[in-house]
Amino acid sequence: MDIVRIGTAGIPLGAQPRTSLGGVRKLVELGLDCMELEFVRSVHMKEQAAKELRAFCEESKIELTVHAPYYINLNSREPEKVEASKVRILKAARIGWLAGAKSVTFHAAYYHDDEHEHVFEKVKQELAQIRQILDDEENHIRLCPETTGSPSQFGTIEEIVRLSVEIPGVYPCIDFSHLHARSQGALNTYEDFCQVLEHVKERLGRSALDHLHMHLSGIEYGAKGEKKHLILPESDMNYQAVLQALVDYNVGGWLICESPNLEEDALLLKHEYIQITNNNKGGIKNG
């Protein structure tokens, strides 16, 4: 059976010192499995620090993912903003690769008033260029555009999976909380989450579920989608159903907890995941 590694979006709150290295040490102490490097404001890590972090993670068996800066819009009307967005993704991917990160995720674009198909083609064109640059550098980090939490943002599950079908080296990042918020709470059952995983499997093949980049937290939402992250037990997010679907579909990869209490909810997820795994009859949908 494939194993989902569970960890935190950034440095655990209890880590001292407040560095990525200190964060990984705290993960080892807690018994968590991975950490997302949160470059959401800027890519602040230096090359030497990335190399040192990689060595420690390999020794500690902790895996890393990366979240690129929020200020990305590959569909901007201003060409300089598109170029700046590509530079931010590339910087995150390069430092992430040096640090040994498996994948880099980002919110790809906004629709503005454009037709969704036009936005898809624009995002596809820019991402294909980014992927080619990284390939030319022999940087094989996975580019993982993320499902987004607002209807104004590019990033339905269909769009993200389609990008992954059409651009080699691009893979989906599935944020289950964003899908829940985007649907204004409608997508929240075991069957819903199975349908998401089935869509990935049908379009990308069984192997796409073996190394899946995922996010999960509690979430507050309204008519315009996502508002803010919440602590899991204080939200209506059906995280137990997400975990059951992951076990039944024999999913592997990285489940990053973005709850405000970070390691507390990550530990809750890991405890529940282990319990479901132990009770599972053997991946009933993993064929």
Q: What pLDDT sits at residue 222? A: 95
Q: What is the mean pLDDT of the chain?
A: 96
At residue 280, the pLDDT reads: 82
Q: What is the mean pLDDT of residues 245-251?
A: 97
The whole-number pLDDT of residue 9 equals 98
Mean pLDDT of 200-220: 97
| Percent of the chain scoring above 70 in pLDDT | 97
Does residue 3 surpass a pLDDT of 60? yes
More confident residue, 2 or 91: 91
DSSP single-letter state for residue 170: B
Give 5's contacts (C-beta < 8 A, 6+ positions apart). Answer: 33, 34, 63, 253, 254, 255
Q: Give pLDDT, residue 166.
A: 98
Instruction: Give the start-end residues of each E strand in the chain.
Output: 4-9, 34-38, 63-67, 103-106, 142-145, 173-175, 212-216, 218-222, 225-230, 253-257
Q: Domains of the chain (ranges plus CATH)?
A: 4-279 (3.20.20.150)
Query: What value does the mean pLDDT take over residues 129-148?
Result: 98
Q: What is the mean pLDDT of residues 28-35?
A: 98
pLDDT digits (tens, 9 = 90+) for 275-286: 999 998 654 555
